[in-house]
Structure 1
Amino acid sequence: MKFGIDRPEGLHDTPREVLNWKLFWSTAVFGLLGASRGLDEGLVGGMVSLQSFKDEFHLNAGSATHQASVLSNITSMVQLGSIVGAFLAFFLCDRLGRIRTLQTLCLLWLVGFIIVVVSHGNVPQILAGRFIAGLGIGMTTVVGPMYIAEVAPRSVRGMLTNIFAGSVYLGATIAFFSNWRASVNLSNNSRWQWVAPQFAHIGFAAFFLVLSFTIPETPRYYTIQGKHEMAEKALGNLRNLDTSHPYIQAEIIGIRNQLEREQEASRGVSRWGKLRELLLIPANRYRLMLGVMSQVLGQWSGANSITIYATQFFGVVGKSGESEKLFASCILGIVKMVSAYLCAFFLIDFIGRRRSLYMGISLQTISLMYIAIYLGVVGSETLASGKMTPSQHQGAVGSIAMIYLSGVGWTMGWNSFQYLVNADIWPLRLRALGSSLVMCLHFLNQFGNTKAVPDMLLALQSYGFFAFSAAVSLISLIWVWFFVPELAGRSLESTDSLFSLPWYQVGRQGHKLAPDTDTLQIHEHEKDASAIEAQHMEHAR
C-alpha cells in the first residue's frame, strides 16, 4: 500500500479560477458552523465542574447515583435536542433551501442559550433552553457538510468539508479557555463564573445569522427545484467561470443526469417513497450502513466523552485542582484543533479517506489501551490519594500524553470521516434525508454516550471505560478494512456506479472496478471546445 503524499486526485483537471474567494468564503461560513458543537462539548463539561454552577443547581445534593443522573441530564440535553434538529433539517433543507435553514437554526441556537443564562437555578428551565439550542446545533451537522459538499469542487471536497470537522475543536478550544479563565478570574460565589462563558454561544449564533445574508444558495438545490437557469448561473458565479466553460457544462450535465435518473426511478411513488428507496435499494442500503456504522463506532470509541468530561478524566489520571484540570482541557482543545486542521489541509485529500481512517483509529486504539492498562495496574484509590511512586507518577504523565494522542487520532480518523461520509456518498435526491437520518443517529449515540459515561465510570471504573473504548476501536479497524471505499477525488454523481457493485466488492475493490467517469466527460468537453475553436480560427484565416 502506497502512503506517499501526492496532489489530490482531480486537482490537475480543476481550472485555476475555480479555487476563488467566493468559494472559500461560502464554505468557510458553513464550515465554521462546526464550532457550535465544539462550544457546547467544551463549555458544558467545564460549566458543571465550576463550584458556582454546582451551588446554584445543587449538583452536590443527594446520593452519588442521583448526582450522576442530574449531571448527565444537563450535559446531554443539547444532544437530545440535536436528534430532533438533525431530522428537522431534512424537511427544511428541501423545503426552504440551505440558506434559510441556516438562518432558522441560528435563531433556535440564540434563543436557547438566552433561556439558559437567565435560568437562575431552575433545572427544568436550563434543560428546556439547552434542548431548544440543541435543535439548532443538530441542524448544523446536516446543513453545514451538505452545503459544502454541494458547492465544493471534487478535487478539494474533502479538505473543505473538514473545515467543519476542524471547527468543532475551534469551538472546543474557545470553550475550554473560557471556562479556565472564568475559574481563575471570577468568584465561586458569583453566578457570572458559569454564565459569562455561555455568551460565546450567543455571540456565535448572532454572528452566523448576520453572515447568512452574504452567501449564495447551492446550484444543486436550484436544480432540485427545477430552476435550471439559476443553477447554471450560481455554479458559474461560484466557479468564477463563464457558464459555457467545459468544466461548468460537465458539472451541470452530471447534476442534471443524476437527478433525471433518480426522478425516473422514483416516478409515481408516495410521499414515503424516499424512505422506501433508501431502505429497499441495495446501493442505498450500503450507503446507509456506512453512515450508521461510522456513527456507532465513532461515538463509542470514547473520544467525544473525553472532550465533554475532559476535566473529570484529567482528574482520573492524576491532575489535581480545578484550575489545573481546566487548563489541561485547554491544551487538549488546542491539540485537537491543530491536528484537525492539519489533517483537513494536508492529509484527507492527499492520502485518501481510508488511509487517514486507518492511521487515526490505530493511534486512538494504542492510546486508549495504554490508559486502560495504567489505570488497571495503579488503581483509582492510589490516584485519588495522590501518593504515587516515581514510576507511577511517570505513568500518569504518560497517560495524560496519551489522552492528547488519542485526540490526534480522533481528528485524523473518525472526526473527519463522520462528516465526510455524508458529504461523499448520497445521491442528490436522497442527500437531505440520508444526511438527516445519519446525523440523528450521531446525536442519538452521543446522547446515549453522554448519559451512560457517568454510570459506566461507576460500574466499570475508569480502567473499564477505557478498555471498552479500546475494544470498539479494534472492531472499527476491521470494519474499515472490509467495508469503507475510497472516495477521495470522486465527483458526487460518480458514486452511483460504485455503490451499484456487489456489497462485498464496494469497500475492497470499488475504486478499481467503478472508476470516476466524470473526469473523462470534462476531457471530452474540453476536446470539443478546442476543436470548435480551431475550426473558427481556420475559417477566419
Structure 2
Amino acid sequence: MYKAALAETPQEAFNWRLIYSVICFGLMGAARGLDEGLISTTVAQESFIQAYGLDPKVYGEDATAQKQGNITSMVQIGSVAGALIAFIACDKLGRIWATRQLCLIWIIGTIVYITANGNYGQVLAGRFVMGIGIGQTTVVAPAYLVEIAPRSIRGMCMCIFSGSVYLGIMLGYFASWGTSIHISNKSQKQWVYATILHLLFAGIILILSIFVLESPRWLAKVGRKEKAIANMCKLRQLPADHPYVQAELIDIEDQINREREASMGSGFLGPLKELFMIPANRYRIFLGLMCQLLGQWSGGGSITIYAPKFFALLGTTGQSEKLFATAIFGVVKFASAIICAFFLVDFLGRKRSLNIGIILQAITMTYVAIYLTAVPQVTTGGIQSTTAKHAATGAIVAIYLSGVGWALGWNSIQYLLGAEIFPLRVRSLGTSIIMTFHFVNQYGSSKAVPLMLLQDSMKPQGAFWFFAAVTFMGLGFVWFFLPETAGKSLEGMDEMFNLPWHIIGRKGAALTEGQGSVSDALGRGTGKEAVEFGDVEQAEHPHGDKRADV
C-alpha cells in the first residue's frame, strides 16, 4: 500500500513549501519535549531543590514527593484545559491563528514561571499557564500536518512532530546538564537560563507561522473554496487541473458534503453527536483513548520525566553524572524518533512499527523489574557483588533501550492516530478529546510515579512490574483492535471503520485496500481522463439530486 501511494504521488508534491510548513508545525512537538526534559532535570538541581523545599532529608520523603509531583505535573493540568480550548481555536480561528495564540500563552506562562524567585505558588501558576499553550500544540499541529501532507508521507510528516518532542527533551537535558556544570548550585540562574529555551522555541514558531499557508481542508470546511484550491495548488506545486490535485479536492468536497447532509439541523451539538452516536466514530474514539491510556501507563513517559531519579535508583550517583546519563538518554530517544519518522512508520506501517516498539519496551521493563527484585538493595545504596554490578549495567542499558521502544512505538502513534482517523467535521473535536485524555493520564502517571517508587509503597521493583504488565496488555490491544492506516487517504478511511468492529483491527486494511474514496472510484492514478472538481456530485448522485456546495 505504501509503495502504491508513493508511486502515484507526483514529485512536485515534495517541495520546499511543504517542507517549510511541516517544519513550522512539526517544531511544536518541542513544546512538550522541552518541558519534560527541563523539569525532569530542574527538580534534580540543587539550586531548585533548595529554593522550593524539595530536600527529602529536611522535609521528609512523602512531603517532597507530593511537592515535586505538583510542580512536575502542573503543566499536564494546564494542558488538559489547553487541549479542550484547542478544539474551538482550531475550528473557529483556523490552524494558523490557533498556533499564534498558543505561542503567546506559552510565552506568558514561561515568563511567570522563571520570575518566581522562590515563590512556590507562582511556579505552579506559571506552569499551569504554560500548559494551556503547550496542551494546544498536541491538537493544532497534528491536525494541520495530516491535512497538508500527501498520504504517502503522512506518517513521516506527523513523526516530525513526535520527533521534535525528543529534540526538545534532548535540548532540555543538555541545557540543564550544561548549567549544572558552569553555574553555581546556589544561583537560581542555573535552572532559569535553561528554561529560556521555551521562549526561544515559542518565538521561532510564532515568526515561522507568518509565512505558512492555511490548511486547504479547513478552508474548504468553512466555505472558502477558491482559497482552498489555491492553497492546495501551492502546497503541491501543481496546477488546479492536475489529476492528483483534483483527486484530493474531490475527496475533500465529497466528505464535507456527506458530513453536512448527515448533520443537517443538528446545530452546535452536531459534531459531538456525530462523534458518539455513529458506531464508526465511537470505534475511532475508543482506539484513541485506549492508545493514550496504555501508552501513558506503560512507563515510557514516566521514565522521560523522572530520568535522573531512575538512573539514581540503578546506581548512578552525583548530580552531574545523573544529568549526563539523562542527556544521553535524550540523544537515544531523538535518534530513535528520526529513524521511525524516515524509515519505519510509512514503510513498515503504523501497526508493525508500534509492535516493534512495544515488544522492545516490554522486554526491557521486565528485565529491570527482575533485576530490582533480585537486587533490591541497589535502590537504597547497598553494597553489590560483582555479578550484581554487571546486572546493574544491563539495567541501565535496558532503560536506554526502553526509550528506543517508546520512541518507535507509543510515542509516535499517540499523536498520529488521533489526527488521521477522524472525518474532517469532527477531526478537531476528536483529537481534542483524545489529547485531553492524554494529559489527564500523563498528569496521573507523573503524579503517581514518585509515590509508587517509595519504599512503603510499590517500591521501584513493583513500579517496573506494573509498567511491564501494562506494556504486554498494550501488545494484545494493538493486535486485535488497531487497524493499519498507512497509505489510506484521510477521506478514504470511512470504508474501513464502517466494517464490523471485531474485524477492523485484524483485517480492516486488507479488506478495504484501494477502497473508501470517491477519487478511487473515479480512476485516481489509473491514467484515466482527469475529472472536474464538481464531478463528485454526479458520481455520488447520478440521478441529478443536488448537494451543498463547498
Same fold (TM over 0.5): yes
Query: 1:62, CA displacement in angstroms?
Result: 2.6
Q: Within 2, Cα distance between the matches of 1:383 and 1:155?
A: 48
- 1:36 — aligned with what? 31
CA contact (8 A) 1:353 1:486 kept: yes
Structure 2 letter corresponding to 1:30: F
Structure 2 letter corresponding to 1:481: W
Q: Within 2, Cα distance between the matches of 1:441 and 1:125?
A: 26
Q: Verify: 1:221 aligned to 2:247, yes or no.
A: no
SS in 1 for 2:513: coil
- 2:539 — aligned with what? none
Give 1:393's match in structure 2, choosing from 380, 389, 396.
389
Q: Verify: 1:50 aligned to 2:45, yes or no.
A: yes
Q: Deviations over 1:413-434 (max 9, x none)?
A: 1011101102320000000000
Give 1:344's match in structure 2, choosing from 323, 341, 347.
341
Structure 2 letter corresponding to 1:242: P
CA contact (8 A) 1:9 1:349 kept: no
Query: 1:64, CA displacement in angstroms?
Result: 1.7
Q: Verify: 1:444 aligned to 2:440, yes or no.
A: yes
Q: Verify: 1:183 aligned to 2:184, yes or no.
A: no
Distance 1:9 1:477, change over 3 A: farther
Q: Which runs of 5+ in 2 are unaligned?
A: 532-550
- 1:528 — aligned with what? 529
Q: Verify: 1:141 aligned to 2:138, yes or no.
A: yes
- 2:16 — aligned with what? 21
CA contact (8 A) 1:31 1:164 kept: yes
Give 1:310's match in structure 2, choosing from 304, 307, 310.
307
Structure 1 letter corresponding to 2:398: M
Q: Within 1, Cα distance between the matches of 2:381 and 2:296?
A: 32
Give 2:407's match in structure 1, choosing from 403, 406, 411.
411
Root-mean-square deviation (Å): 1.3
Give 1:12's match in structure 2, choosing from 7, 10, 14.
7
State, as a whole percentage, how many aligned pairs show the same letter.
49
- 1:367 — aligned with what? 364
Q: Deviations over 1:268-319 (max 9, x none)?
A: 1131121121111100000000100000000000011000000000000110
Q: Deviations over 1:52-97 (max 9, x none)?
A: 1111112224332111111000000001000000110000000000
- 2:537 — aligned with what? none
CA contact (8 A) 2:166 2:330 kept: yes
- 1:538 — aligned with what? none
Query: 1:519, CA displacement in angstroms?
Result: 4.4
Q: Within 2, Cα distance between the matches of 1:404 and 1:9?
A: 36
Q: Deviations over 1:213-261 (max 9, x none)?
A: 0101000010011011110110001000001111111110100100100
Q: Verify: 1:509 aligned to 2:510, yes or no.
A: no
Q: Within 2, Cα distance between the matches of 1:375 and 1:134?
A: 34
Structure 2 letter corresponding to 1:55: Q
Q: Within 1, Cα distance between the matches of 2:191 and 2:225?
A: 50
Q: Within 1, Cα distance between the matches of 2:336 and 2:323?
A: 20
Matches of residues 151-166 of structure 1 in structure 2 within 5 Å? 151-166=148-163
SS in 1 for 2:223: coil
TM-score relative to the length of structure 1: 0.95
Structure 2 letter corresponding to 1:53: F
Matches of residues 474-513 of structure 1 in structure 2 within 5 Å? 474-513=472-511
Distance 1:449 1:382, change over 3 A: closer
Q: Within 2, Cα distance between the matches of 1:516 and 1:193?
A: 56
Q: Within 2, Cα distance between the matches of 1:203 and 1:453?
A: 30
CA contact (8 A) 1:246 1:522 kept: no
Structure 1 letter corresponding to 2:285: L
CA contact (8 A) 1:92 1:101 kept: yes
- 1:299 — aligned with what? 296
Distance 1:522 1:26, change over 3 A: farther
After TM superposition, the structure 1 stretch with the greater mean CA deviation from structure 2, 8-17 or 362-371, is: 8-17
- 1:275 — aligned with what? 272
Matches of residues 374-385 of structure 1 in structure 2 within 5 Å? 374-379=371-376, 381-385=377-381
Q: Within 1, Cα distance between the matches of 2:506 and 2:418?
A: 20
CA contact (8 A) 1:8 1:349 kept: no
SS in 2 for 1:351: coil
SS in 2 for 1:523: coil
Structure 1 letter corresponding to 2:524: H
Q: Deviations over 1:480-511 (max 9, x none)?
A: 00000011000000011111111011111111
Distance 1:470 1:9, change over 3 A: farther
CA contact (8 A) 1:7 1:350 kept: yes
Matches of residues 453-468 of structure 1 in structure 2 within 5 Å? 453-458=449-454, 459-468=457-466
TM-score relative to the length of structure 2: 0.94
Q: Within 1, Cα distance between the matches of 2:52 and 2:525?
A: 67
Q: Within 1, Cα distance between the matches of 2:261 and 2:530?
A: 31
CA contact (8 A) 1:427 1:492 kept: yes
Query: 1:524, CA displacement in angstroms?
Result: 6.4
Query: 1:512, CA displacement in angstroms?
Result: 2.0
Q: Within 1, Cα distance between the matches of 2:468 and 2:263?
A: 43
Q: Within 1, Cα distance between the matches of 2:399 and 2:513?
A: 39
CA contact (8 A) 2:241 2:530 kept: no
Q: Within 1, Cα distance between the matches of 2:260 and 2:195?
A: 46
Distance 1:378 1:233, change over 3 A: same
Structure 1 letter corresponding to 2:327: C
Q: Which runs of 5+ in 1 are unaligned?
A: 1-5, 531-541
Number of aligned pairs?
524
